[in-house]
Structures are given as C-alpha cells and as structure tokens.
Structure 1
C-alpha cells in the first residue's frame, strides 16, 4: 500500500499540488485497504492520513497501518481543513470528477481566508495507477472471472420455457454467491426475445419462450475486485437472422481480441471489431464502445472506444464486447475479459462461444 501512496505523492509533485483529498471509495481502498464506508484520505509528501469517525477507528488501525489515523470530531470537512492547516499545505488537491459541488463549496468556504491554502481539482491521478494490475489484484480478478464460467454452465441447465428473466438472474446470483462471490458487480442483464435488443436490458418479469435468444451479461465481486462476461444463447432453435448476427458478432469479437496487446491504442481495438460489423451492414446497430477496463470498479479506464487513444499496457484488464441490436427483434453481444500482455492478451473467461448455443 505504501508503494502506491508513494507513486501518488510523486504524481502530485509533478502537478505542483501539496496534498490530495481522496474520498472516491475505490481510490480510498486502493491506497489504504480501508473498507469502511465513511472517511477520506489526505495524501502528502511528508505523511499521509486516514480521517474517519468513531465507528471505524479500530478498523482503520487494523486495515491501514501505514497511515496515521485522524478521528472526526465534528464534520469531515472540518477535520480536513484543520489537518491541512496544521500541515501548512499551500495547494490542496481534490477529486474534481467525484466530489459533490456542495462538499467543494463547504471546503472552499472554510478555506476562504486571507493567506489560506487554495483548492485545485486533480482528476484521474489514482485511477491512472489502478489501470495496471498488481499480481494480487490479478489473482482476485481471476477468482471472480472463474465464478462466471461456473455460473454460465449452471444457468444453461436452468433456463426452460416459461421461466422469467428475473428468476434466471436470481438463480445465477444465488449460485455464485454460494460459491464465494461477495456481491454482484452490477444488476444482471437477462434480456430475451425482443428485449435482447436492449444493450442494458436488466432482468424483467418477462417469461422466456422457445426460439428466443437470451443475452446474459453478468459479473460478481471477489476480494473487492470485479468480473464481467456476456454470452448470448437460444432457447431452442433461433431464427435465421439471429444465427447470422451471432456469427458476425463472434467474428467482430475475435478481431477485437486479436488487436489487444501492449502498445496498441484502445481505439484500435474498437476499430478492429467495429469494421467487421460495419462491413456486414450492421454498423448502425452497434452503438456502444467495444470495451472497458475492469478492476475495483466494473467500469473503469481505459475505454475501448473511438474516442480513447490510451495506449494499452501489460497488466491492464479490459473487456471486448461488440454487439448488434435490432429494435423489436432481438440482439447479440459476446463479451470476454482479458489480461493485456506484451504480445497479445490472455482470456480470463472461457465459457463456450464458438456457436449460438441452443438450450
């Protein structure tokens, strides 16, 4: 943990910032190991602190021995301003892309005195380091990913005509929770028939009927790290059109996977997958990015989209998930999470996808 703090301190020095307030939960955990749901960090070049209230003092001592503990006596803002004042920090950074305007205004009001320190928005500093995973992080992610493969195999034997999407989601979650998942990474997407045209079609009360395709997009958290996978299956024999778009999406996904390697811009992966779908005449039906980073947050940087030229680095974990969505008819998405390596990528999910599985 201290090594991570040291990296942030060096980055702040480059930005001419004397201290950084960290309240974003994933960033706070990444730098402290603290799992309480209240408090903040103050990272400085001299010493770093965890500020929390009475409920979490002992927990903070246990989980964050590399940080000095500061107890909140009144409010978090008061504790931060008092501590920063005692440390004589001229420029105090904050997570401008996370904190509320109300909290910023409260801090600013308390600091608005002659000769007082100034606030400066500093975005993405901790997130930048989070992108490349350390070995213990990768081990946790792999555990979470492996549960998805087990869950997919189980749920394929559960889906029957008349079963509701919500029943499928509940069964899938229960199965993986009993095998070690701490919680779901997001509300599961179980979208059947015409609802498969909804890229984020959370499970509904709709019953699944024979001949319908079903998009299953699900993920769980293990040891604070997330997983994410999508498979599309069919309950019985699918339509000719669904078979066709499945083969196109699979071709696009394989092209995207082949493009993933260290040194490649994230946008190049999106381009490789998107060109396949466009060439087959379905470009207008693929309206989202090809993927995203996965870690302490299920959606984090980089974004595998045309607008993100972040150069991929070995140790990043990203998804590759192209799709085709035909309004009123259905859709297909195939998603795997992969570890970026020097000369390619390694699949972290291994559920079958070489054909449209008929249940």
Structure 2
C-alpha cells in the first residue's frame, strides 16, 4: 500500500496540492481497511491519518494498521486544524464523491484552496492484488454454489421473488456477508428487461428466465448471469440463446492484456449485429468488479482503457426482445499474463426446466 499511496500523492502534487481527502467508502476501505460508516482519510507528505468519531475509534485502531487515528467532534474543524498545522495551501478532494453542500461548507471552513480531482484512488483499484483476487474468486464460487442449489427448485408455478430469496439465502448460508446487488430474476417477457426487479410473476412454459446475481465476501463482489428456459425451447429460443452464447465465448477469447475494453465489446457486438439482433443489445459488454459491483474499466464502446493482468471484468452480452423475452450470459473473468481465467464455473449450455 505504501507504493500505492506514493503514486496517488505524486498525482496530487502534479495538480498543485499538498494533501488529499478521501471520504468515499470503497476508496476509504481500499486505502485503510476500515469497514465502518464514518471516517475521512488524510494523506500528505507528512502524515497518513484516519479521522473518525468516538463510535469508531477502537474499530479504526484494529482495522487501520499504520494509520494515525484522530478522533474528532466536528470533522470539518479537524480537517481545518490539519490544514493549518501542516501549512497546506491547496488540498485535493474526490470531486465525484462530494456534494455541492459539502463543497460549499469546506470552502468556508478551510483556509486552503480546494483542488477537484477525479479517479485517483479508482485508478489504483483497477488492477487487483493477489489477496483481492482470492476474495473475488471466493465470492464467485459461492455464487456458483448457490446457482447449483437453487436450479433444481426452478419449476412452473414458482415466483421470481421466491427464486431471488433462495439465491440470497443460499449465498449467505455459504459464507457471503450479503448480496453485491439485488438479485435479478425475470421470467417470460420480463426477461427482456435488463435490470428487472423480481416480482410475483410465476414461471410458466415457454419462458426464458434470466438470473443475474452475486454476493460479497470479505468486502469483494461477484457477478454472474445465466438464462434458462421453461419447457421445450422453440426455434426462436434456441436461435437467440445460441447467438448470445457464441458472442460471449468469442469475447472471452478476446480478453487479454494489451487490448482495449472497446475492442472486446466490438467482438461480441459484431456477432450479434451480424445475426440481425444488434438493436436488441443496448448495453456495454461488461465492467470491472471489486469492492464495488461496477468499477472501472468497462468493456464498452466508450472505454479505450487497455486491459492489464490483474484486472477483473464481466463478459455479459445479451439480446432483449420486447414481448418475447431476453437472454444474458455472464462470466466473471480475470485478465492474466497471456489471456484470461474464467472465475465463474457454472455451465452455459441451455438448461431446460421441466
């Protein structure tokens, strides 16, 4: 972490500031290990301090080794005191995580100029450490286990909501601290809604059922999607499913160091477009996963980030046909030195619910 902080401080200095405030919970946890809900990180050339209130002082002492713990009654005053003590002329903040109200309050309370920065810590989080990778792998294995346990429970007459609850319960029982997002279970025409919320819709013959879910293990997320069909699939079911699966498999082959997120997205998108369904694939191919379920970089036409070993991304093409249904197939993937390693182990052949 020392090298990480030095790289961050180098960028802070390049922007004319002498200190950085970090209050975003994921960035705060990444830097210090703190898992509570109140605290601000102060980084300068003179000190690395974690500021928190009475409730979390002892917790911070245990979770933030190597950090000076400063207890405050009023956080803005504590920061202002540090600014004065270290004669800071300009202080960097995380612009994307500061409200207008908070910014105005700081402008009144601080003697230093405020320098708005973007993505300083997030840039460090893109490449995962070996420890982070192991936690994501464990989260992915818990999700695989949950799907295997819940799959036999899928049958006509079961509701989307019941399936979502079973997925969450099974993941928690297997060691997850929670879900990485509210599970998506969508049946029939509702499976054409990429982010459908589980409801009272009952599974019935002829339905595609999309299940998109993940869990959190020691702070790190997983993400996986599988699509099944209830009853004998029609030609339309098979055509769409096979097209999405082919796009996903080809995109997985394209994931390797040195290629851009845009290039990988293009591989899958071109296959779906050539199959005549391009207009029904309206989202990016994937995103990074870590302390948050959606991180940088993205596999998208809008992202030219070059993939590096240690990055973890999802590969999740889909086709969504209004009034019919949709298919999405998603794996969690680790970029390796010579390609990629798929962290999701669940089979991808079309499963037929009897």
TM-score range, shorter chain: over 0.9
2:97 aligns to what SS in structure 1?
A: coil
Give 4+ residue runs of structure 1 displaced > 6 Å after superposition.
none
The answer to whether residue 148 in structure 2 is matched with residue 153 in structure 1 is yes
Q: 1:15 matched to which residue of 2?
A: 15
Q: d(CA) in 1 for partners of 2:160 and 2:77?
A: 48
The answer to whether residue 171 in structure 2 is matched with residue 180 in structure 1 is no
Query: TM-score with structure 1 length normalisation?
Result: 0.96
Q: d(CA) in 2 for partners of 1:265 and 1:46?
A: 38
Q: 2:109 matched to which residue of 1?
A: 110
2:140 aligns to what SS in structure 1?
A: helix
Q: Among 324, 335, 338, which residue is 1:343 paired with?
A: 338
- Cα drift, residue 134 of structure 1: 0.4
The answer to whether residue 274 in structure 2 is matched with residue 274 in structure 1 is no
Query: Mean Cα displacement is larger for which, 190-199 or 149-158?
Result: 149-158
Q: d(CA) in 2 for partners of 1:172 and 1:348?
A: 19
Q: d(CA) in 1 for partners of 2:266 and 2:316?
A: 12
Q: 2:294 matched to which residue of 1?
A: 299
Q: 1:128 matched to which residue of 2?
A: 123
Q: 1:240 matched to which residue of 2?
A: 235
Q: 1:77 matched to which residue of 2?
A: 76
- Cα drift, residue 70 of structure 1: 1.1
Q: d(CA) in 2 for partners of 1:63 and 1:3?
A: 19
The answer to whether residue 22 in structure 2 is matched with residue 36 in structure 1 is no
- Residues 308 and 287 of structure 1: CA distance in aligned 2, closer, same or farther (over 3 Å): same
- Cα drift, residue 89 of structure 1: 1.1
Q: 2:93 matched to which residue of 1?
A: 94
The answer to whether residue 16 in structure 2 is matched with residue 6 in structure 1 is no
2:187/2:210 contact within 8 Å kept: yes
2:15/2:115 contact within 8 Å kept: no
Q: d(CA) in 1 for partners of 2:11 and 2:217?
A: 29
Q: d(CA) in 1 for partners of 2:269 and 2:324?
A: 21
The answer to whether residue 350 in structure 2 is matched with residue 356 in structure 1 is yes
1:231/1:335 contact within 8 Å kept: yes
The answer to whether residue 259 in structure 2 is matched with residue 264 in structure 1 is yes
Q: d(CA) in 1 for partners of 2:80 and 2:214?
A: 39
Query: TM-score with structure 2 length normalisation?
Result: 0.98
Q: Among 241, 244, 250, which residue is 2:245 paired with?
A: 250
Alpha-carbon RMSD across the aligned residues, in angstroms, is 1.0
Unaligned runs of 5+ in 2: none
Q: d(CA) in 2 for partners of 1:36 and 1:2?
A: 22
- Cα drift, residue 357 of structure 1: 0.8
Unaligned runs of 5+ in 1: none
Q: d(CA) in 2 for partners of 1:84 and 1:48?
A: 13
Q: Among 309, 313, 317, which residue is 2:308 paired with?
A: 313
1:260/1:340 contact within 8 Å kept: yes
Q: d(CA) in 2 for partners of 1:252 and 1:85?
A: 57
